[in-house]
Amino acid sequence: MKLSERLKEAGLLKQHFLCDGQWQAALSGTQFAVADPATGVQIASVPNAEAADATVAIDAAERALPSWRALTGKQRARTMRRWYDLLCESAEDLAVLISAEEGKPLNEARAEVEYGVSFVEWFAEEAKRIDGDVLQSPHSDKRLLALRQPIGVCVSITPWNFPLAMITRKVAPALAAGCTIVVKPAEQTPLTALAIGELALRAGIPGGVLNILTADSANSVLVGEVLTGDPRVAHLSFTGSTEVGRILMRQCASTIKKVSLELGGHAPFIVFDDADLEGAIEGALSAKYRNAGQACISPNRFYVQAGIHDRFVARISERSAALRVGNGFDPGVNIGPLIDAQAVTKVQQHVDDAIRQGAQLVTGGKPGELGFFQPTVIAGVTHAMVMSREETFGPVIGVARFETEAELLAIANHKEYGLAAYLYTRDLARAWRVAEALEFGMIGINASAISNEVAPFGGVKQSGLGREGSKYGIDEYLEMKYLCVGLQ
Ligand code: NAP
């Protein structure tokens, strides 16, 4: 079935990019194809932006800034609330676009829409609460104030794995703060981004406040150089790999931009002997197999204590083997395809490496057609194996056995990554002890669905800088200005 036929409103399938409130072609006139990862079939084509298009988009964002910034928080909140309502009304179509270009099962795509739009609602509300402070002055003839003001023109570069949520988590706080923004979504998933833009226009968000440039991987590098090098841009928000984050941070250094980075992760999933086994199994299944394991907070190392280890491995293997892999539009499918052939190769290499080094394959371990990979459980994983160090980004559960809490703490932290960690225990004192010792930005204690609009999302070490969502997330898009008033 053609993608436009799956949509209730075919007008949400945009094949131009959004700049200055207009749907435009690239200046070069070139386009690139968007394919469904479950079938390999082309579903759309969109403009392939180059450096000159990026400059035009920054021009538009710069022009739109004074009037958007001058609105009251309450006025911006009302427009954003309309945007939220329209996103909710189009939720099913947005889910269809996500499934079509990213591959995740439709139910998961629906959950992503619900999650992603919650940031628009939240930050629409926060727009009214951007307060400053009156400070207690050390001088009787002076009054001191701290104001929080929009940082200015912002840019965002986002990944393919959550095509809607990774954009709303950035655009919503930027707009609420009074900033304007240029977004560059990933090559594989431009369609959801463009539909979000169409709904923003319909909601009355003025032209130039939100601009969305689409580009293929080669051109993304050129566009990225302009977005991170233009001195008119004050802030970069990037979600993606640590490797690319490093490049973009370096590029931002020449004009000293503020940067917010949400980068790679390598989450440990820790199960102590006293854990509720079924609770831990449910948590592991949902955290690991969500989006076929292609999530930054997906557990990549499973540490299970000796007394519960064999039961954990048996149960998780049985449950994993029962999951259905297939096209995300087919009813009953639990796991969709990986994003592309390169992703499948990487997952296979991690599995093969573990087995070559002595781990035992308990279930799965093989790719299917196109981008599909069987849910896989491997026991006997050691620290020397690649999957213990690098993000697998696939549906693989590699289990290592540990004996004592001290032994666990010696291996659970990661040299480079510090995004999320999970631990399961019924011992309250242990939960505190271990959570405090884990060097990660987010810890799930007997919980694996940890992300929501109220919570500060972000990592430590080379997993990132700054936080998204929560009452803290808007600070990324604000500057503090100090006023010293002399009483003469
Ligand atoms: P990626 O390769 O780093 O790409 C992310 C974005 O950066 C894409 O839009 C990509 O464009 C663009 N890009 C790549 N190289 C660039 C360059 N030199 N200059 C400018 N832009 C460039 O990451 P990915 O493979 O899409 O996503 C997976 C990674 O994201 C994983 O490491 C995952 O852990 C991380 N992630 C982190 C979070 C978090 O919140 N911490 C959330 C989700 C994902 P093209 O697509 O056009 O190449």
How far are the Cα atoms of 142, 209, 240, 334, 440 from residue 305, in angstroms, in the given order?
A: 61, 52, 32, 28, 21
pLDDT of residue 371: 86
User: How far apart are the CA of 152 and the centre of ligand 1, in A?
Assistant: 24
pLDDT of residue 108: 98
> Which atom belonging to ligand 1 lies closest to the Cα atom of 185?
9
- Which residues sit with their C-beta closer than 6 Å to ligand 1? 157-161, 166, 184, 186-187, 215-217, 220-221, 224, 239-241, 244, 247, 262-265, 296, 391, 419, 459, 464
Indicate the Cα dihedral angle 71, 74, 78, 83, nearest 10°.
70
Task: Answer whether residue 322 shows pLDDT above 90.
Answer: yes
Task: Answer whether residue 369 shows pLDDT above 80.
Answer: no
379 in Cβ contact with 425 (< 8 Å): no
- In this prediction, what percent of the chain has a pLDDT beyond 90? 99
Strand, coil or helix: what is 86? helix
* 384 pLDDT tier (thresholds 50, 70, 90): very high
Could you give the CA distance from residue 191 to residue 162 in angstroms, rounded to a whole number? 12
Whether 262 is catalytic = yes
* 442 pLDDT tier (thresholds 50, 70, 90): very high
pLDDT of residue 1: 87
Pocket test residue of 101, 157, 250, 294 for ligand 1, highest count of atoms within 8 A of CB? 157
Give, using CA atoms, the residue closest to atom 40 of ligand 1.
262
pLDDT of residue 368: 82
User: How far apart are the CA of 67 and the centre of ligand 1, in A?
Assistant: 32
Task: Answer whether residue 264 shows pLDDT above 90.
Answer: yes
Q: Is the dihedral of CA 166, 295, 190, 262 positive or negative?
A: positive
Whether 126 is catalytic = no
> Which atom belonging to ligand 1 lies closest to the Cα atom of 215?
47
Pocket test residue of 161, 246, 451 for ligand 1, highest count of atoms within 8 A of CB? 161
- In this prediction, what percent of the chain has a pLDDT beyond 70? 100
Pocket test residue of 296, 338, 389 for ligand 1, highest count of atoms within 8 A of CB? 296
Please give the backbone phi and psi of residue 196, each rounded to the nearest 5 degrees, phi first. -60, -40
Residue range 173-187: average pLDDT? 98
Residue range 101-106: average pLDDT? 98
CB burial readout 253-277, b (16+ within 10 A) else e: eeeebbbbbbbbbbbbbbbbeebee
Q: Is the pTM of this model over 0.75?
A: yes
Residue range 8-22: average pLDDT? 98
Q: How confident is the model over 201-257, as pLDDT tens digits?
A: 999 999 999 999 999 999 999 999 999 999 999 999 999 999 999 999 999 999 999
Task: Answer whether residue 49 shows pLDDT above 80.
Answer: yes
Higher pLDDT, 368 or 17: 17
Q: If you count them, how many residues does the chain have?
A: 488
> Which atom belonging to ligand 1 lies closest to the Cα atom of 242?
32
User: How far apart are the CA of 244 and the centre of ligand 1, in A?
Assistant: 7
Task: Answer whether residue 370 shows pLDDT above 90.
Answer: no
pLDDT of residue 274: 98
Residue range 89-113: average pLDDT? 98
Q: How confident is the model over 125-171, as pLDDT tens digits?
A: 999 999 999 999 999 999 999 999 999 999 999 999 999 999 999 99
From its phi and psi, is residue 396 left (phi > 0), alpha (psi between -120 and 50) or beta? beta
Strand, coil or helix: what is 104? coil
Beta strands in 62-192, from DSSP E residues, in sequence order: 133-135, 142-150, 153-157, 180-184
User: How far apart are the CA of 82 and the centre of ligand 1, in A?
Assistant: 30
How far are the Cα atoms of 288, 347, 411, 419 from residue 390, in angstroms, in the given order?
A: 15, 11, 14, 13
Could you give the CA distance from residue 181 to residue 154 in angstroms, rounded to a whole number? 5
240 in Cβ contact with 205 (< 8 Å): no
**Helices within 240-369 (DSSP H only):** 242-253, 277-289, 306-321, 341-356
From its phi and psi, is residue 454 left (phi > 0), alpha (psi between -120 and 50) or beta? alpha
Q: How many CA atoms lie within 13 A of 403 on its CB side?
A: 0
Give, using CA atoms, the residue closest to atom 17 of ligand 1.
221
Give, using CA atoms, the residue closest to atom 14 of ligand 1.
244
Q: How confident is the model over 290-305, as pLDDT tens digits?
A: 999 999 999 999 999 9
